[in-house]
């Protein structure tokens, strides 16, 4: 594909767009890494497109956003410290084929020394040909419930003893976007309020807390639930636990919730219950670990050894699930099939909603004018398939055999067509 000057206007034609919670037939315009409104270009600047792309009726949607991913392709973000940059680069590049244009590398419960080494090295990046962009680190632990530890090593789980303790354990939080905390821990509410005042999003999860604990956390600034149904009290009709946050009338803001739609972590009926209860809150996450993209065998997540058999990753010698090996495009397809949602609903769960969680929906997760030109061309003639991935208006991935990207130069660059 030809390289495109930053000032060039590219028109995508013969396409359908996921825009305004529906699918519309329209052209799509990009310039300078942003999605633009063509009308001012025509009537005020008096220019037309430099290049056109015939999409052959492909579906254009925002790039997928994964806000919980522990690693992949043989790399783990919490333990492979000697090759951390190599691992992040490999994962960022690999997930382009799955439609992910932005992600939150996730660090699970670890020794304090790991946080002090990893956090300064996982910097926010805009993404591009080198790989998907980083929106900020997701710290999943160590301030979690020992009773709901999941695949987190119990020896590194910490009590909350105040804000100073949190900063001592983590070190510098400049690169952190999201932190998962068990809301029932003594001192949790003060810490949640403090983190939100610093612009860090807070999620409740790995928790033995009840609904009141969750409501107090949300009213102090928490806005997300980490992998709903997993590592938390099960729903009970006299105390629905954190699941009850989906319908609570005692919280000052609606919450979003993560769902691992891999056919293993969450039963199809539970997917349907969650979505039909609070459809605007569902966020698809992979919770992928080092085995994603590889296959069966022994792998690791953080400090724990994992055995992958079939599509299931479990701590060695136990039945405890240890992350997933699913990809985001597969989650979207599974969600459509098993939850009975529309294509638009599934796509928004992987785009708009995670962008809202991270406070980035003014730039990502939509095809609105002025948004970053991070988008996908999809084939929806059958199960959804990623044909092309774009970041900042530049094609960074093309599927084998994908022929829907054909640039045609309209005019010499910078030439005015009206006088």
The dihedral region occupied by 328, where left means phi > 0, alpha psi between -120 and 50, and beta the remainder, is: alpha
Q: Which of 50, 213, 287, 372 is catalytic?
A: 287
Active site residue 372: no
Q: Is 299 annotated as a binding residue?
A: no
pLDDT at 322: 83
* Cα separation, 305 vs 338, whole angstroms: 31
Q: Is 132 annotated as a binding residue?
A: no
Is the distance from CB of 143 to CB of 160 less than 8 angstroms? yes
Tokens read off for 312: 């299931």
* pLDDT tens column, 283-315: 999 999 999 998 788 887 888 888 888 888 889
Mean pLDDT across 70-81:
94
Q: Is 414 annotated as a binding residue?
A: no
Q: Is 140 annotated as a binding residue?
A: yes
Strands in 51-54's sheet, in edge-to-edge order, are 34-35, 28-31, 9-13, 51-54, 407-409
- The class of domain 64-357 in CATH terms is alpha beta
Q: Give 40 or 259, the one with higher predicted confidence.
A: 259
pLDDT bucket at 405, cuts 50 / 70 / 90:
low
Mean pLDDT across 94-119:
98
pLDDT at 159: 97
pLDDT at 5: 53
The dihedral region occupied by 4, where left means phi > 0, alpha psi between -120 and 50, and beta the remainder, is: beta
CA atoms within 13 A on the CB side of 417: 12
Is the distance from CB of 76 to CB of 289 less than 8 angstroms? yes
pLDDT at 194: 98
* Cα separation, 236 vs 134, whole angstroms: 37
Q: Is 151 annotated as a binding residue?
A: yes
Is the distance from CB of 263 to CB of 255 less than 8 angstroms? no
How many Cβ atoms are within 10 Å of 55's Cβ, its own excluded?
A: 22
Angle at which helices 343-350 and 328-339 cross, to 10°? 140
* pLDDT tens column, 142-165: 999 999 999 999 999 999 999 999
Q: Is 269 annotated as a binding residue?
A: no
Q: Where are the domains of the chain?
A: 9-62+367-409, 64-357
3-class DSSP assignment, residue 226:
coil
* Cα separation, 106 vs 109, whole angstroms: 10
Q: Is 34 annotated as a binding residue?
A: no
* Cα separation, 329 vs 3, whole angstroms: 27
CATH code for the part of the protein at 9-62+367-409: 2.30.40.10
> Over 60: is that where the pLDDT of 412 sits?
no
pLDDT bucket at 244, cuts 50 / 70 / 90:
very high
pLDDT bucket at 404, cuts 50 / 70 / 90:
very low
Q: Is the dihedral of CA 224, 225, 227, 229 positive or negative?
A: negative
* pLDDT tens column, 177-223: 999 999 999 999 999 999 999 999 999 999 999 999 999 999 999 99
- What value does the mean pLDDT of the chain take? 92
Task: Pick the range with the lowest mean pLDDT from 7-11, 185-189, 390-394, 412-416.
Answer: 412-416
């Amino acid at each position: 594909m030809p390289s495109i000057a930053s000032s060039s206007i590219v028109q995508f034609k013969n396409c359908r767009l996921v825009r305004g919670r529906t699918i519309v037939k329209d052209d799509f315009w990009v310039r300078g890494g942003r999605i633009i409104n063509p009308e001012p270009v025509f009537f005020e600047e008096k220019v037309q497109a430099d290049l056109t792309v015939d999409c052959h009726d492909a579906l254009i949607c925002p790039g997928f956003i994964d806000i919980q991913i522990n690693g992949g392709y043989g790399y783990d973000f919490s333990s492979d410290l000697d090759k951390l940059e190599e691992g992040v680069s490999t994962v960022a590049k690999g997930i382009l084929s799955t439609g992910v244009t932005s992600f939150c590398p996730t660090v699970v419960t670890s020794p304090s020394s790991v946080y002090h080494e990893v956090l300064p090295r996982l910097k926010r990046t805009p993404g591009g040909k080198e790989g998907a962009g980083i929106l900020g680190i997701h710290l999943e632990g160590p301030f979690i419930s020992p009773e709901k530890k999941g695949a987190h090593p119990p020896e590194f789980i910490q009590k909350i003893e105040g804000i100073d303790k949190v900063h001592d354990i983590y070190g510098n939080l400049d690169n952190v976007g999201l932190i998962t905390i068990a809301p029932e821990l003594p001192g949790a509410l003060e810490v949640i309020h403090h983190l939100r005042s610093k612009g860090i999003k807070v999620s409740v999860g790995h928790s033995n807390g009840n609904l009141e604990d969750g409501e107090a956390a949300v009213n102090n600034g928490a806005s997300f639930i980490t992998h709903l149904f997993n590592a938390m009290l099960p729903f009970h009709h006299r105390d629905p636990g954190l699941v009850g946050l989906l319908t609570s009338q005692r919280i000052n803001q609606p919450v979003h919730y993560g769902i691992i739609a891999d056919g293993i972590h969450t039963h199809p009926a539970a997917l349907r219950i969650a979505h039909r209860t609070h459809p605007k809150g569902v966020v698809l996450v992979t919770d992928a670990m080092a085995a994603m993209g590889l296959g069966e065998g022994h792998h690791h997540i953080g400090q724990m050894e994992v055995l992958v058999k079939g599509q299931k990753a479990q701590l060695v010698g136990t039945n405890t699930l240890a992350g997933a090996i699913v990809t985001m495009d597969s989650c979207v397809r599974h969600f459509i099939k098993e939850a009975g949602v529309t294509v638009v609903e599934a796509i928004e769960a992987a785009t708009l909603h995670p962008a809202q969680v991270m406070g980035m929906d003014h730039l990502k997760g939509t095809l609105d004018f002025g948004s970053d030109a991070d988008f996908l061309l999809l084939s929806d003639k059958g199960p959804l398939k990623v044909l092309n991935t774009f970041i900042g208006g530049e094609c960074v991935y093309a599927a084998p055999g994908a022929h829907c990207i054909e640039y045609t130069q309209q005019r010499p660059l910078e030439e005015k067509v009206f006088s």
